[in-house]
Amino acid sequence: MKVLIATEKPFAPEAVEQIRGIFDDAGYETVLLEKYASKDELLTAVKGVDALIVRSDKVDAAVLDAADTLKIVVRAGAGYDNIDLEAATAKGVVVMNTPGQNSNAVAELALGMMVYMARNLFNGKPGTELKGKTLGIHAYGHVGREVARIARGFGMETLAYDPFVSKTDIINDGTKPVDTVEELYERSRYVSLHIPANDQTRRSVSYDLLSRMPKGATLVNTARKEVVDEESLLRMFRERDDFRYVSDIAPDCADEIAREFPGRFFFTPKKMGAQTAEANINAGVAAARQIVKFFEKGDTTFQVNK
């Protein structure tokens, strides 16, 4: 078996080493394509491989067509909006993710960005504390749960809205479930987004929701930039001088925000949530193990295009 690790944003070297170790033990060949500058490099590299590990790398119909012997692609991470599931299914290619493996890293970044914004980007002026503030967690999956755990350590009150998670599970964690998404925004000085990007959620964080947030509102986005409606975002910045936005990757309207609303935003230059050695090792090793189990035992536990 030949496995390609194609990561435009490379894994930590320790993660690559451990992934290689797993494939060496299984008798598989590992090929590494990192920091590739053009899609053509990826199209060439996928030829003749049986399995592919990616991060946020775009695996579209063209990549799947070029991958003439591909059987499985594993997104080492949570969100698989970068993979064309329909095209993969049509070609009989199994797609998996590695849920939960990088969630602590993302959660730590969410809280880190909240502290940074609460302290006025460390500009020397008095800021505010997280203790005693309410944090609304929009979707209570792996990352949302980790965010709640850390936020409680800061002394925050945590609320969650997630129609797919049982209220008992949320309550058992020490978080309060709310019945509607509107209520979440109404009650939360901080809202942290953990919804996936799909046809239902794209641009769903709208003016109607954001304008419900109380005074001193900060929106925290470690999910995907696409889930926030940017017209609504700009309107909030214009109408509410208390509104702030921190996001792991800049929105398309970042230049406008930077020009007109300095000091009220922070955007990472690249998606940084899962960019820790630990998260890379966890997600990369999980991806490698899932590939070996798939080929050796037919295991499809984490398949997302069933």
Cβ proximity to ligand 3PG: between 251 and 273 the closer is 273
Alpha helices in the chain, H assignment, sequence order: 13-26, 39-45, 61-66, 85-90, 103-118, 142-153, 167-172, 181-187, 207-210, 230-239, 254-260, 277-297
Residue 129 φ/ψ, nearest 5 degrees: -105, 160
276 near ligand 3PG (CB under 6 A): no
User: In 3-state terms, what secondary structure has residue 239?
Assistant: helix
| Residues 6-25 interacting with ligand 3PG (rule: CB under 6 A) | 9
Question: According to CB under 6 A, which one of 3, 46, 52, 55 is a site residue for ligand 3PG?
Answer: 55
Q: Is residue 152 within 8 Å of residue 113, measured between CB atoms?
A: no
Shortest distance, position 267 Cβ to ligand 3PG, whole Å: 15
Q: Is residue 183 within 8 Å of residue 209, measured between CB atoms?
A: no
194 near ligand 3PG (CB under 6 A): no
Shortest distance, position 12 Cβ to ligand 3PG, whole Å: 11
96 near ligand 3PG (CB under 6 A): no
Contacting range for ligand 3PG; rule: CB under 6 A; set: 17-25, 77-85, 145-153, 159-167 = 77-85
Q: Quick one: which of 305, 240, 306 has its CA closest to 85?
A: 305
271 near ligand 3PG (CB under 6 A): yes
Closest-approach residue to ligand 3PG (CB): 77
**Alpha-carbon distance values, 58 to 122, 130, 135, 205 (Å):** 35, 37, 33, 24
Q: What's the N-to-C CA distance of the chain in angstroms?
A: 23
Question: According to CB under 6 A, which one of 15, 78, 87, 107 is a site residue for ligand 3PG?
Answer: 78
Question: According to CB under 6 A, which one of 70, 72, 88, 102 is a site residue for ligand 3PG?
Answer: 102
Cβ proximity to ligand 3PG: between 117 and 279 the closer is 279
177 near ligand 3PG (CB under 6 A): no
Distance CA 261, CA 9 (A): 30
Q: Which residues bind ligand 3PG (CB under 6 A)?
A: 9, 55-56, 77-79, 102, 271, 273-275
